[in-house]
Amino acid sequence: MLELFTDYTLRNVALGSALLGVVGGALGTFAMLRRQSLLGDVLAHAALPGICLAFLLTGAKAPLVLLVGGGLAGWLAAWLALAVLRHTRLPEDSALGVMLSSFFGFGIALLTFIQQRDNANQAGLDQYIFGQAATIVAADVANFALLAGMALALLGLFYKEFKLTTFDPGYAQSLGLPVRGLGTLLTSLVVLAVMVGLQTVGVVLMAAMLIAPAAAARQWTDRLGVMLALSALFGALAGVSGALISASRENLPTGPLVVLAVSAILLVSLFFAPQRGLVWDWARTRQNRKRVHLERLLLDALALLQHGPLTPQALAQHRRESLAAATRHLEALEAQGWVRPGPQGYRLTPAGQQKALELQMALRSQPSVFPSP
């Protein structure tokens, strides 16, 4: 932990990853709610040919120039993808899948061409495939901060409009909002986020930084603002912890570790978040089933008591179940404190009577919920 403040390289890597986490998490929230996560993946992959072309055209290896090239190509790909979706009847996943592979394939071809052309000078371009965070220096961090700052500032400025166009585009348009333009702007902000991630996680893993924090955040809250903040926080957390873990051992790549960290956060959220988490969901369902089961038993017991004694034999006959099952059921009711064994079979306790009364009232006010006996 302490190295974070003393180790110059580590500090830059951690800062760069954290910035990526924040901006990816924030923009990913909207991408996810607009069902455009896959579009994010397309424009991330499409950055590769853009980076290569920027290098071929300018001969520069300055990261900012390459990032801008990558961003432009990503933007073009997104625009193309949306145009194809709008004007053809191709299914969305097919259209985006083809687009992704084509741009990425073109990028790999360009990369190979550059490698063969001047071997000495190409060094480093292939780092944009999976990222190479170790190369991040203070100047890069400054670039990231600029890009991320721009994206976040615009996101804050148009937050209300983005929210409405995402939730109900038709209504937004009826209010006079330029829905198309706002969509384009939001996509452009996603491009900025991708540019921040190119050096750290690369084009292949970038989509995870858009999707995972947002999906994890959605598990914990029902408010858009909170979701946005949480998503950014999860992204930053993953960025910093990925950087720290990779620094703790030799030869551990930062980008993949950041992605693994964010996946771990998502996994925990999917299982353990209250309300939406699988574990609680499962436990709640189980508990509800058990409760309804016991309530039915109590009503059966009540029905029996109106005609005679409540014994395992009588219950078994009434419910058409085995004697063992009926005995177990009576014990369950006893454990609940609703019945008590007596000399002439079981009797309702005061608590049991109270509960049975409540159930009957509920039944009467909501006759459709249970079939009447």
DSSP state of 135: G
Q: CB of 161: closest distance to another protein in angstroms?
A: 7
**Identified binder of another protein from the candidate list 180, 223, 289, 293, rule CB under 8 A:** 223
Q: Using the rule CB under 8 A, is 101 a contact of another protein? A: no
User: Which residue lies nearer to another protein by CB, 185 or 299?
Assistant: 185
The answer to whether 367 contacts another protein (rule: CB under 8 A) is no
CB of 180 to another protein, least distance (A): 12
- Partners of 348 in the beta sheet? 339
The interface region with another protein, picked from 69-77, 200-208, 219-227, 308-316 by CB under 8 A, is: 219-227
Convert residues 146-185 into a mask of x (bound to another protein by CB under 8 A) and - (unbound).
-----------xxxxx-xx-xxx-xxxxxxxx--------
Give 221 or 353: the residue with its C-beta nearer to another protein: 221
Task: Return d(Cα 228, Cα 230) in angstroms, integer.
Answer: 6
Nearer to another protein, 90 or 299 (CB): 90
- Nearest CA among 265, 225, 185 for reference residue 21: 265
Burial 311-343 (b: 16+ CB within 10 A, else e): bbebbbeebeeeeeebeebbeebeebebbeeee
Between residues 174 and 344, which has the closer beta carbon with respect to another protein?
174
Choose which of 108, 224, 229, 260 interacts with another protein (CB under 8 A): 224
108 interacts with another protein by CB under 8 A:
no
- CA–CA separation, 17 and 291 (whole Å): 48
Sorted by sequence, the CB contacts under 8 Å of residue 267 that are 6+ apart come out as none
Find the distance separating the first CA and the last CA of the chain, reported in whole Å.
67
CB of 94 to another protein, least distance (A): 20
How near is the Cβ of 160 to another protein at its closest, in Å? Answer: 6
Dihedral angle of Cα 217, 221, 222, 226, to the nearest 10 degrees: -80
Are residues 77 and 103 in contact, defined by beta-carbon separation less than 8 angstroms?
yes
Based on the shown chain and the rule CB under 8 A, indicate whether residue 127 belongs to the binding site for another protein.
no
The 3-state DSSP class for residue 354 equals helix
With contacts defined by CB under 8 A, how many residues of the chain interact with another protein?
25
Q: Using CB under 8 A as the criterion, which residues of the chain lie in contact with another protein when the complex forms?
A: 33, 157-161, 163-164, 166-168, 170-177, 218, 221-224, 227
